[in-house]
Structures are given as C-alpha cells and as structure tokens.
Amino acid sequence: MHELDKLADRIRACKKCRLCKTRKNAVPGEGPANARLFLIGEAPGRNENETGRPFVGQSGRLLTSLLQDAGIDRKKVFITSILKCRPPNNRKPKGDEVESCKPYLLQQVKAINPKMIVLLGLVAIENMIGDRKKLRDMHGQVVKAGDYNYFITYHPAAARRFPGLKKTIIDDFKKLKRLGAD
C-alpha cells in the first residue's frame, strides 16, 4: 500500500476534532502519487461530504472546466483541501480544526513532492504560507516558501459568487499552464 493510501485511511478514521461528529465522509483528496501539480482548497462542501471526493460539486465542476480550458488534465493533479471534513453550514475553518488536519496535508505534500502547489483562495494561502495580503494583489503569482513554489489564485467558489472574477481565474489557470507546472 502506498504512503498516500495509508494517509487516506488515517484521514477517513480521524477523530482529532469536532468535525468527525458531523461529517458523513472525510475527504482525503485524490490524484496520482507522482503529481507535479498539487491543488489545495478550503474545505469539503456538501457534495464532497456525501461522496468522500474533493471538488465534485459546483465549485468542482468549475475547477475541472478551468483545468480543461488551460490544457491541464485533472487526472494528473492531486486535489485536496486544508480541512478534510466539512464544517457545519460551510463556515470558515476554525484554527483548532486546521491544526488537526494540517499534519495530514503536510504529509501528503511531502509524499508527492509536487513541482507546484496551487493555493485556491485566502484560507489556503493563509494556512500554507501565512500571507494576509489582498488576494487581488497576489493572484497569478508564484511565491517560494520553504521547499515549495506556490501559485496563488482565487477559489473557484469566488467566481460563482462574483462572476466578474471568472475571467481573472481563467487567466490565472492559463498562466499556470504556461509556467509548465503540469
């Protein structure tokens, strides 16, 4: 059994925080162990909680479309979130929940050792690189932090809430492709 499979089993059985009581399924993430591109969102939503798979709801369909339009094969990237369980009512993750999940995420990153990590939205940015700048000033940029390169962009849900951002996010994903991160 591969290290990622063992991690996924531990995540599915995790009881480190209160979210284990309200989840239907933990969502470890999915993708190949040799992925060059590693995407991190905020937390599973309702559809993800139902299926145990990341980005399968409306935001997931938009993410798949963004990847396709940029010429990036979703099957070749690893996709996960900061939290592995859905917060009630899709609220923002709490600090202790992030601290419970983050070791799993860091182990996944280490096991895959991707060329580029894509941070989808402020929750991912703040929790992976600690930056609190305005997303509009950071999107489309690569930030080196520790051993990894991080590509900054909006979460696909932002384009659903603010349709004017959709073109910006499309352009960010095309830039990601040009960077050769896939």
Question: pLDDT by residue (tens digit) across 49-74?
Answer: 999 999 999 999 999 999 999 999 99
Q: Compute the average pLDDT of residues 119-141.
A: 91
Which one-letter DSSP state was computed for residue 87? Answer: P
pLDDT at 24 over 70: yes
Domain that holds residue 7: 3-178
State the total domains in the chain. 1
Number of C-beta neighbours around residue 12 at 10 A: 15
pLDDT of 132 over the 90 cut: no
Task: Read off the pTM.
Answer: 0.96
CATH of the domain at 62: 3.40.470.10
Task: Give the confidence band of 160 by pLDDT, cuts at 50, 70, 90.
Answer: confident
> How far apart, in whole angstroms, are the C-alpha atoms of residue 98 and residue 100?
5
User: End-to-end CA distance of the chain, in Å?
Assistant: 25
Exposure string over 98-135, b if 16+ CB within 10 A, otherwise e: bebbeebbebbbeebebebbbbbbbbbbebbbebeeeb
User: Could you tell me which of 137, 141, 165 has the C-alpha nearest to residue 152?
Assistant: 141
How many beta carbons lie within 10 A of that of residue 156, not counting itself? 25
How far apart CA 41 and CA 27 sit, in angstroms, is 12
For 181, residues 6+ apart whose C-beta sits below 8 A from its C-beta are: 36, 37, 115, 116, 118, 149, 151
pLDDT score at 71: 95
